Every structure is written in C-alpha cells, then in structure tokens.
Structure 1
Amino acid sequence: MKTITLVFGAVYGMVSVILGAFGAHAFKKILSVERLESFETGVRYQMYAAFFLLIVGYILKFETGSEKWISWLMIIGTVLFSASIYFLSFQDYWGVNLKFLGPITPLGGLLMILSWGMLIFYFLRK
C-alpha cells in the first residue's frame, strides 16, 4: 500500500503540472473565465492530494485498515472531485450536457475530507 500511495502521489503531482500548464496556455483560448477557474480548482486540489499522498506514504506504516483507508479515500476522492470538475469545465466546449457529474464533485470532496479526518485521528492516537 505504501508503494501505491507514493505512486499515486507522484502521478497526481505530474498530471497536475501538465494540466496546469495546459490551463494556463491552451485552455485559456477555449474555456470561459468561469470554466477555466473551475478547471484550475480541480488542478489545485489534485496537487494538494499529491502532496498529501506523498507525505502520508512516508509517515504511515499501513499496518492497519484505517491507515490504508486514509490513502484510498484520498486517491478515490481526488479522482471523483478533480475529474468531474475537468469534464464539467469542458462540457460547453464539447457541446455535451455533463451536469449529471455535478453530484460527483462533492462526493469526491467528502471522501477527501474523510481522509484528512482519519489522518487527524491517526495523529491523535499516536
């Protein structure tokens, strides 16, 4: 689980930099200011998750189920949160209605919050 956590952290970080560069250059030409701001929120929170996963990958021993869930909740939550924002940001440009993804974003955010909460309890128990 340690390796999975560290790999996801590194991949999330790399993809955040790539998407951030596209957002700062290429996507400015095709997205509205509002959609670009949403896109950048997804990128920012994905980078926060990258740092989180890299740090907990070195801190946690992953000996308990709760330690593993700290990582899984952040990994899954980030995919749901950021990916739904990315798709919603492009729905006008693509000419498709992706509003059904709207409820996915807060669900991903909730999983990320739960991951942070579990990390707090982990620290309090240690």
Structure 2
Amino acid sequence: MNATNVWKSGALLTAVGMSCGAFGSHGLRSRQPPLSERSISNWSTASNYLIYNGLALLAISFHPALSLSRRARIATGMIASGAMVFSGSIFGLVLGKDVWKKVLGPLTPLGGVAMIGG
C-alpha cells in the first residue's frame, strides 16, 4: 500500500466505524427481537476498533518511511485487514443467526492478531 491508499483506507475505516457506532446507538435498540446489552456493547467495541485503527492508518500515512519500507506497507495492510475482519465478524455475530457463529466466531481472534501484528 502506498501512502495515498493507506490514507484512503484509514478514512474509510473511520467513517464506517462512526456510521456503525451511530447505527448501534439508535438502530439496534429498537430492533425486534431486542438485543442484549452485551450484544450492544460488543457492537460498540467493534465500532470503536474501526475508528481507532482508521485514525492510526491516517497518522501512519504521513510517515515518510511508508513509501520506502516493505515492512511498513505489510504492517498497514495487516492493520486494515485485521480491523475489517475483527469488527466485521463481531457485527456479523451480533446481527447473525446461530449458524454464523461457527464461521465468524473463529475469525474474530484472527482479525485481532492481524491488527496486533501490524
């Protein structure tokens, strides 16, 4: 990823995180059947992680070594993909059916490991 793509990825993750957070605050509370407080808290956590990682990518995009270092480009890809997998799997778990839990449940920690690795 070059600096422009890192910046765009960071902006997109931040915007999606904010949108999902707003939806979680307003849309999930009126959902039928109602979601548990734990599910709403999990949704909030996933939204926050998108925002944090998006802001991190925005900051990283200004670092001069990004365009020179292969390691930095790999790290930014891991951060972006890890945030999407981590948060996306939690969103799916909150909204999904029980069948999804078998597929999405194991993906959440993989996304977390990718974020940490990045």
1:58 equivalent in structure 2: 62
| Moved beyond 2 Å, runs of 4+ | none
2:78 equivalent in structure 1: 73
2:36 equivalent in structure 1: 32
% identical aligned pairs = 29
Long gaps (5+) in structure 1: 116-126
Q: What's the offset of the Cα at 1:64?
A: 1.8
Q: What's the offset of the Cα at 1:63?
A: 0.9
Structure 2: distance between partners of 1:11 and 1:33? 27
In angstroms, what is the RMSD of aligned CA positions?
1.1
> What are the superposed Cα offsets for residues 65-102 of structure 1, whole Å, 9 maximum, x if unpaired?
101012101011011100000000112xxx45211211
Structure 1: distance between partners of 2:14 and 2:74? 20
Matched letter for residue 49 of structure 1: N
> What are the superposed Cα offsets for residues 16-74 of structure 1, whole Å, 9 maximum, x if unpaired?
11111111111112222111111111001011101110010011432121010121010
TM-score, reference length from structure 1: 0.84
Judging by fraction of residues, say which structure has more helix.
Answer: 1
Residue correspondences, number: 112
5 Å-filtered alignment, 1:1-126, equals 1-30=2-31, 31-59=35-63, 60-91=65-96, 95-99=97-101, 100-115=103-118
| SS of equivalent residue, structure 1 residue 50 | helix
Structure 2: distance between partners of 1:23 and 1:104? 21
Structure 2: distance between partners of 1:11 and 1:88? 22
Structure 2: distance between partners of 1:22 and 1:58? 30
Structure 1: distance between partners of 2:112 and 2:81? 10
TM-score, reference length from structure 2: 0.89
Long gaps (5+) in structure 2: none
